[in-house]
């Protein structure tokens, strides 16, 4: 009996069905620079270089980590793609880049078109929020490689910035102001610790209703990572941003020093931060030390910005007039590169 590819576990027809299902989501992300159609061997994007003297391409790639486990447990896949976009886009914003286009990669043991389409729908939603086009991607069916019902998702983004406007942190100096933009929750980091606390220690499930949160644990933890393009882009057009840090894995202590030069230290107070309740609950459930919390999670601050003392108040007012929240976190001081956190 002659074997077919389907006999090995790869269903080409399911792949074709997925492509048909995702076309509408993807087209909604298209910006004027998109030249290609879905289904080609590559994505084509024409750059608009007007106003850019020395355009520099800025790229970033990332995944979602073990937050995927929550999506598997809940069989809910329409937000995890948005997380993937956020993790990539927020990184390149830190260099002052405007996102242009995004590509995704999804690998799974068995291709279920409806599930894959749900993931891509989340990716498309993230691209729309971030102002970039989804111009290509790959769905790989790999039978025997992933457990039933599981998959991995990763993304890649390209943006552009004028060379003279690259944010490197070089201009940061003593007495500069440190500001913070709120997170939407735990975002996409620290989930290995979170799962150990809530499932292993507390014996909760994703369906456990948490009174303090007013929702189930699963609903809280699957909240998508906030995408900051709509706030950062106007700030870049109107003010001089000296440095930015995306608060991901490693929390405050690992990420904030990445924008500082030797001899400068971030002196930060958490007093003005509206820390989401989920962090306090995780700390209490797990018996976690305060320093460990700020060294693992974003604690309610997803993006940190450094500006001059003169611009600090103006930027806070500007962001608030946009209907967004912003925190005054502290200032830059002389000292060993790192973070001093007043808790």
pLDDT digits (tens, 9 = 90+) for 71-83: 999 999 999 999 9
Q: Identify the CA nearest to 61 among candidates 31, 100, 25, 92.
A: 92
Angstrom distance (rounded) from CA 30 to CA 302: 27
Average pLDDT over residues 124-133: 97
* DSSP 8-state secondary structure symbol assigned to residue 201: I
Confidence at residue 86, expressed as pLDDT on a 0 to 100 scale: 98
Q: What is the pLDDT of residues 270-294, one digit of tens each?
A: 998 999 999 999 999 999 999 999 9
- Map out the domains of the chain with their CATH numbers: 5-165 (3.30.1330.10), 177-342 (3.90.650.10)
Confidence at residue 21, expressed as pLDDT on a 0 to 100 scale: 86
Joined together, the tokens standing for residue 304 give: 């940190």
* DSSP 8-state secondary structure symbol assigned to residue 42: S
| Residue 2 CA from chain centroid, whole number | 47
Q: What is the pLDDT of residues 129-150, one digit of tens each?
A: 999 999 999 999 999 999 989 9
Confidence at residue 11, expressed as pLDDT on a 0 to 100 scale: 78
Q: What is the pLDDT of residues 188-211, one digit of tens each?
A: 999 999 999 999 999 999 999 999
Angstrom distance (rounded) from CA 261 to CA 176: 13
């Amino acid at each position: 009996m002659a074997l077919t590819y389907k006999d090995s576990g790869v269903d080409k027809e399911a792949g074709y069905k997925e492509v048909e299902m995702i076309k509408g989501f993807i087209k909604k992300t298209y910006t004027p620079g998109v030249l290609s159609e879905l289904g080609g061997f590559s994505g084509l994007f024409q750059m608009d270089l007007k106003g850019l003297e020395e355009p520099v391409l800025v790229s970033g790639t990332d995944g979602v980590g073990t937050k995927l486990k929550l999506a598997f447990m809940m069989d809910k896949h329409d937000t995890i793609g948005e997380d993937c976009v956020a993790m990539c886009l927020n990184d390149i914003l830190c260099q002052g880049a405007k996102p242009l286009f995004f590509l995704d990669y999804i690998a799974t043991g068995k291709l279920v078109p409806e599930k894959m389409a749900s993931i891509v729908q989340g990716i498309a939603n993230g691209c729309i929020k971030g102002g970039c086009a989804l111009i290509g991607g790959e769905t790989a069916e790999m039978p025997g490689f992933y457990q039933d019902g599981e998959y991995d998702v990763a993304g890649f983004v390209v943006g552009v910035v004028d060379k003279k406007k690259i944010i490197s942190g070089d201009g940061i100096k003593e007495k500069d102001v440190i500001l913070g933009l709120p997170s939407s929750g735990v975002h996409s980091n620290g989930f290995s610790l979170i799962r150990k606390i809530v499932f292993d220690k507390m014996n909760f499930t994703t369906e456990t209703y948490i009174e303090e949160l007013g929702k189930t644990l699963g609903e809280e933890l699957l909240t998508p990572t906030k995408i900051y393009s709509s706030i950062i882009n106007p700030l870049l057009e109107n003010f001089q941003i000296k440095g930015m840090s995306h608060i991901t894995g490693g929390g405050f202590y690992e990420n904030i020093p990445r924008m500082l030069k030797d001899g400068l230290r971030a002196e930060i107070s958490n007093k003005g931060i509206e820390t989401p309740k989920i962090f306090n609950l995780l700390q209490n459930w797990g018996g976690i030390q305060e320093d460990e919390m700020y060294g693992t999670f974003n604690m309610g601050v997803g993006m940190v910005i450094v500006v001059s003392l003169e611009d600090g108040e103006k930027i806070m007012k500007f962001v608030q007039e946009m209907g967004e929240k912003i925190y005054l976190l502290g200032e830059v001081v002389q000292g060993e590169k790192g973070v001093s956190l007043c808790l």
